[in-house]
Chains A and B, each alone.
Chain A
Amino acid sequence: MAGLMFRPWCHRVLMSLRSNKGAGVRILGTLAGVCCLALLAACSSGSGSSTSTITLVGASCNPTSITSQQTSQCTASVSGTGSFSSTVFWTASGGGTIAAATGLFTADTVPFSTQVTITATSATDATKSGSTTITVAAAGTVTGVTVTCSPTSVQTGQLSTCSAVVNGTGAFSPGVTWSASGGTINPISGLFSGSSAGTYTITATSQQDSTKSGSATVTVVPAVSNALPVTVDGGPPAYQALGNVYTNGAFVSVTVCTPGTSTCQTIDHVLVDTGSVGLRLLAKGAAGGELDPTAFPQQIDTNGNAISECSLFVDGFAWGSVSLATIQMAGEVASTVPTATVAGVPIQIVGDPRVPAVPASCSSQSVVDKGSLATLGAYGVLGLGTFQQDCGPGCVSTTSPPAEYYVCPGGACAPTGVGLAQQVTHPVWVLPQDNNGVLLQLPLVPSGGTTTVNGSLIIGIGTQANNALGSATVFNTDANAFFVTNYNGQTNSCSYIDSGSNAYFFPSAGNPLLVTCSPTGNAKGFYCPASLLALTATNQSAPNTNGSTGTVAFNVGNASTLFTNNNGNNIAFSELAAPNAPVNGCNSFDWGLSFFYGKSVFTAIEQQPVSGTNFVGPFWAYF
């Protein structure tokens, strides 16, 4: 019944359509279609147009060759039988616009000579159309193309981004097409990569004028072996022989060489520490280390004095020399510091007998001397944090306590300022490649802990196939290498991710279940909840950075129980946690090694970009 109500209105539309010769045809045609849907049979039998037929539509334009922004008038010839309509709609395939009713084509400013197809379609029978072409020539002249690629040297499989500048006169086209003498290049974006070593020529050819091109070269070098095996194994045997065990310590072996020579020493059980910066190795002798310091020249200041260092950790200090070494980590070789005048990378040799005894202004800065195997629990610390140097601008001009760098002329040690290039330096930041950070990958450990964990320390972020950011959430840090963790309603604005901390260290924020262990028991200093706690916290980028947020689910077990499981042989725990002092405005959630199990955790160095992304260090990222 509803259809009948439309009949008079529909009839008027159809009548009007037959008599129309203007721009309203398209709208009315649509209305007619609606009528047909409403009335179905009435439309075909009642329109009275069955006697008129379109047989042919032809199209022509004048002129057929124009330049950018010029016009060409197109006309249609319609043949048919009966009282057919000559009305057509005009369309163009691109390169300009055509008035649908009048057939006036106006060319765009095209980058290069373009052939445009112009089509006239019958208004009453869309199956009948005719086409012609117009050639639109580019305006202006291309005079040259300049190409730059960055970086100019990449490892196999890595991307170099090439860009072209097209020079010319008038309204010339900036478009280019990319090609390369080898490797793979995206013809549109200019992203290049090579799968085999060599030097490749990258060429950009003007799309408007193929006689104009420019080129640059990209060198592809073999990918450097960038993965070091990591073990969590309770610490050096000599440390365990003292009756100790290093819980949740991730260790690698590092080789150090006398600069410019092949005289090298490989030191095992060096702690992987994303919470500090620089390589520190324990000297042979009283300190109980493995390294013979005499193979490494000491860093000398402009007055000829050897520089010493009082390095500071959250739970102790370490005193020793600043010495120069070539550092090898897998196939990566750190041999020099940018702008430094001496060969070698500054490291600290803790307990180096060549320096005087620790000065009081150093030892009074902390309550633990980490200058021996018994207190350090490792043969060294590989600091891979977000800073380029261990101390940075704060140590360039410091000459009074508290301080980190010292000179000891005549055996009397006093604070001194040390330039950035002379400070103990991030060993990854100074690499010729893979120099933007590290990835630490550790497998899951079972609830209750395990005896050994094997993982990987991978140098570089987004530089090789094995260190892509993938689905990791990136959290930029602030200038002090902090981000924000919210736990139990408390904001911890001085939070950080630190493989060198051996547990989750965080304030209980009023959670009554997070009870501390007995101060006289086997797990003093940790949390000992009555049962396993499943907790969540939310991480956020530092304020005014990249605005990431992510929720972390983590478990806290009873440390006393963890330490006695498996007859006390377990040393790797994802459920180990400890209290952390709340400090006004700077509460900390320290995501220590417990956090790393079952994850890929990236630590990116300040000011270092990740190729192919918008991310720039300092940041942490994980998945």
Chain B
Amino acid sequence: MNRPAPFGFPNGKAIRLLLPSLVLALAFPAWASLGDNVTTVQNDKARMKGTLRSVAAQSYVTHEIQVPSGQKVREFVSTEGTVFGVAWEGPFQPDLQQLLGSYFEPVKQAVAQQHRGHGPISVETSGFVFQQGGHARSFHGRAYVPSMVPQGVDVTEIQ
């Protein structure tokens, strides 16, 4: 009898099936980054199973999360604890829904409206900047909220 195992049967396949949905469910309430509070950095690190490195500049801190696949994500946090920018690079795209948080849908809409080209994306609205470049196997990009960027910080540092 080679039928599919019933629910809860303890073989590897069933466990693998269950785990991702479990992780998603737990992580979902914490999904948010750009524009949010610094506590989300720890959530992101946990969810991405990555290593965290933090570097302090004059008026902000950079948290860099690197995952084993080579993906790097950087979150730029002001002294008030606000994530004012995110940047990423690596062979895949990061979870942009998580990184962009409440900006994900507005970014999608802005790209749909403004990105007429076929190629790297560079979209600016009054609320945010979203840029995405590279090609298959090597992507890079960034997003930031100009109104949240600390005074005196050059936006070219968000990368």
- When the two chains form the complex, which single residue of A247, A414, A494 contacts B138, counting CB atoms closer than 8 Å? A494
Instruction: Tell me, in angstroms, the Cα distance from A584 to B85 when the chains sit together.
Output: 14
Instruction: Tell me, in angstroms, the Cα distance from A404 to B69 when the chains sit together.
Output: 12
Q: Which of A301-324 contact B (CB under 8 A)?
A: 303, 311-315, 317
Knowing A312-B136, A367-B108, A387-B137 touch, does A583 contact B93 (C-beta < 8 A)?
A: no
**B1 is an interface residue with CB less than 8 A from chain A:** no
Q: Which 5 A-B pairs have the closest CB atoms?
A: A581-B131, A501-B119, A364-B97, A402-B92, A365-B93
Contacts of A526 in B (CB 8 A): 116-117
- When the two chains form the complex, which single residue of A246, A276, A314, A398 contacts B69, counting CB atoms closer than 8 Å? A398
Contacts of B70 in A (CB 8 A): 394
Instruction: Tell me, in angstroms, the Cα distance from A332 to B142 when the chains sit together.
Output: 42
B132 touches A412 (CB 8 A): no
Instruction: Tell me, in angstroms, the Cα distance from A312 to B134 when the chains sit together.
Output: 11
Contacts of B87 in A (CB 8 A): 583-584
Contacts of A579 in B (CB 8 A): 122
Of B117, B120, B131, B156, chain A has the most CB atoms within 10 Å of the CB of B117
Knowing A367-B104, A385-B136, A494-B140 touch, does A315 contact B123 (C-beta < 8 A)?
A: no
Per DSSP, chain A at the interface is: loop
B139 touches A312 (CB 8 A): yes
A409 touches B17 (CB 8 A): yes
A502 touches B49 (CB 8 A): no
Q: Which of B85-129 contact A (CB under 8 A)?
A: 87, 89, 91-98, 104, 107-108, 111-125
A502 touches B117 (CB 8 A): yes
Contacts of A410 in B (CB 8 A): 4, 17
**B16 is an interface residue with CB less than 8 A from chain A:** yes
**B24 is an interface residue with CB less than 8 A from chain A:** yes
Q: Which of B27-65 contact A (CB under 8 A)?
A: 49
B116 touches A523 (CB 8 A): yes
Report the interface size for chain B: residues with CB under 8 A from the other chain.
54
- The segment from A13-21, A216-224, A586-594 that touches chain B is A586-594
**A391 is an interface residue with CB less than 8 A from chain B:** yes
Knowing A364-B95, A505-B119 touch, does A402 contact B71 (C-beta < 8 A)?
A: yes
Instruction: A365-B95, A480-B138, A500-B119 given; name 8 further pairs at CB < 8 Å.
Output: A248-B118, A314-B119, A494-B133, A578-B117, A578-B119, A580-B133, A583-B131, A583-B133
Residues of A in contact with B (beta carbons under 8 Å apart): 246-249, 275-277, 303, 311-315, 317, 360-361, 363-368, 377, 383, 385, 387, 390-392, 394, 398, 400-404, 409-410, 412, 414-415, 480-482, 494, 496, 498, 500-503, 505, 519, 523-526, 578-584, 586, 588, 590, 592
Contacts of A415 in B (CB 8 A): 20
A360 touches B24 (CB 8 A): yes
- When the two chains form the complex, which single residue of B93, B135, B159 contacts A276, counting CB atoms closer than 8 Å? B135
- When the two chains form the complex, which single residue of A247, A313, A364 contacts B96, counting CB atoms closer than 8 Å? A364
Give the Cβ gap from B133 to chain A, nearest Cβ, in Å.
5
29 A-B pairs with CB atoms under 8 Å apart are A247-B116, A247-B117, A314-B121, A314-B139, A315-B115, A360-B97, A361-B95, A366-B96, A367-B107, A368-B112, A387-B136, A394-B91, A400-B49, A409-B17, A415-B20, A481-B137, A496-B135, A498-B119, A500-B119, A525-B117, A581-B131, A581-B142, A582-B159, A583-B141, A583-B159, A584-B87, A586-B89, A590-B120, A590-B133
- When the two chains form the complex, which single residue of B21, B107, B116, B136 contacts A390, counting CB atoms closer than 8 Å? B136
**B13 is an interface residue with CB less than 8 A from chain A:** yes
Knowing A579-B122, A583-B142 touch, does A412 contact B17 (C-beta < 8 A)?
A: yes
